[in-house]
Amino acid sequence: MIEVERDERTISVENGSYRWGYLLLSYGLLLSTAYRGFVREESSWDLLGLVVAGGVLTTVYQGRRQILSRRWAMASAFGLILALGLGVVLTLLRR
């Protein structure tokens, strides 16, 4: 058996794979939530809560490590405003 040392490249590749896994899981849950809500007209707050909790957890972790930038804050604010606007529009259309 060959022993492989862990270097910066190995850690970077591992982190990249975790990123892709997280994105797949988050967007999969988001699509499942949308499908359950719009097509099957079921409540899907449990799945949406998992998506939001995952985002909050990573944001808190990165914030405590002080790696978030001003650009990140602006993109997050824009995304939040866009999501709220879309939510309002969809709510009004359903009535």
Report pLDDT for 13: 85
With residues binned 3-state (H G I as helix, E B as strand, rest as coil), the percentages for the chain, rounded to 5, are: 80, 0, 20
Report pLDDT for 75: 92
Listed residue (38, 33, 35) closest to 93, CA to CA:
38
- Measured at the CA of 60, the angle between CA 58 and CA 66, to 5 degrees, comes to 105
Contact 51, 30 (CB under 8 A): yes
Please give the average pLDDT of every successive group of 10 residues along the chain, which has 95 residues. 75 87 90 90 86 86 86 90 93 87
